[in-house]
Amino acid sequence: MENMGAFENICNLLRNHSYKVTPQRQTILHMFVEHVDRHLSAEEVYMLVKNENPEIGLATVYRTLDILADIGVLIKNDFGDGRTRYEFSRKDEHHHHHHLICLKCGNVSEFDDDLLESLEAVIMKRNHFKVSDHDLKFYGYCSNCDGTQ
């Protein structure tokens, strides 16, 4: 989905859920569209948007992120660093992608290969338990922090 198309689709989704598309919400949404590959915390979003729109408060950022998560536009992630981070939802994925989290610099990157499908089949067969989703996080050191490049 191209950036402007994604922006307009999300604005329409907000309207369909009876939310106003305020200039503040538009600014926050633009930050996610511009930083689509990042996993942003509310504080990071606030720092990005205050340069463009200084009257936006941190409470507005939190409320907007909660709304976007409630309507399924964003996914909330907890990477164990005490901050909730947000990323765009990928409704076309069967499962969420996985995350690689650097313990030194805090960088979060994505790992898209779903290697757990065979494990899910074993779980279903042995335990008669149908897995509908999973969340996998790998903690370690990125190539910049590990020194091996």
Q: Binding-site residues for Fe cation, please?
A: 96, 117, 134
| Residue list, annotated binding site for Zn(2+) | 102, 105, 142, 145
Residue 108 is which amino acid?
A: V
Q: Which two tokens stand for residue 115?
A: 């290697």
CB atoms within 10 A of CB 29: 21
Distances (CA, A) of 39 to 86, 101, 131, 149: 5, 11, 26, 23
Q: Which residues of 122-144 are buried (b: 16+ CB within 10 A; e: fewer)?
A: eeeeeeeeeeeeeeeeeeebbee
CA 68, CA 103: separation in Å to the nearest integer?
28
- Nearest to 29, CA basis, from 73, 71, 72: 73
| Residue list, annotated binding site | 96, 102, 105, 117, 134, 142, 145
